[in-house]
Amino acid sequence: MLLASAVTKKDSLTFVNESQTLAKALEFLETSDKRCAPILDDTNQLFRGNIYKMHLYRHKSQGGDMTLPVTYLLKNATKFIYDNASPFNILFNLRDLPYIAVLNQNKTFIGVLMHEKVLDLYWQAFGMDSGHCLLTVETNGRQNDLASITKIATKLSSLTNLFALNALDTPGKQVILMTFPTETDQQTIDKIVNRLEKKQFRIARLEKV
């Protein structure tokens, strides 16, 4: 997965400097209507963590000193990815965050990856931009199920993409998602579905992209 086009670069972001006060950080977040912002060091190169509006409000409501440096309420100091991160690494780190900081190999902050951008990346990964039909097939839990399903499909059509996901409700089984290109007509899709069903594979859904 290429991150270059998905990362919101530092030049396009407004961030908080580590020497700024909690009051300044809150003023910025209220003005920009953001729930949080990245904190960078005094050189604007190193990622220190994030500051959240909710933590600032809580601190202020409890009579906390708002002249303290913003690092007093710093969060997510270790929540970042590198610009060559794997899809699993991206999802694991971004799971509970509005965005994830992105660093280059020299550990310099280059920007952030937003939740919606990750959705766009996976949309492309599923082949939605170049395919027209998404077929979801459930395996029977056998070792060669994936190979059998793929063999049946590719005898009649090429695939734009294929994903194998573990079935959440049935341990040992998988859900296979196959995206077919625009040149694969409905008649061909119907043949693939019939052959899969004859092999006792359940067709969970067939969706037009």
Domains along the chain with CATH numbers? 8-121 (3.10.580.10), 127-208 (3.30.70.260)
Supply 48's token pair. Answer: 């220190």
pLDDT digits (tens, 9 = 90+) for 110-136: 999 988 777 777 666 665 566 678 899
Q: What mean pLDDT, rounded, does the chain reach?
A: 88
Strand partners of residue 165:
175
Q: Coil, helix or strand for 10?
A: helix
Supply 73's token pair. Answer: 């309420």
Residues 105-143 as b/e (b if ≥16 CB within 10 A, e otherwise) read eeeebbbbbbeebbeebeebebbbeebbbbbbbbbeeee
Lowest mean pLDDT among 11-20, 70-79, 125-134, 168-177: 125-134
188 has pLDDT over 90: yes
Across 127-155, average pLDDT: 86
Contacts by 11-17, CB closer than 8 A, 24 or more apart = 12/111, 13/38, 13/111, 13/112, 15/39, 15/40, 15/44, 16/40, 16/51, 16/70, 17/41, 17/42, 17/44, 17/70
pLDDT digits (tens, 9 = 90+) for 25-84: 999 999 988 899 999 999 999 999 999 999 999 999 999 999 999 999 999 999 999 988
Supply 46's token pair. Answer: 């190193």
- Confidence (pLDDT) at 119: 74
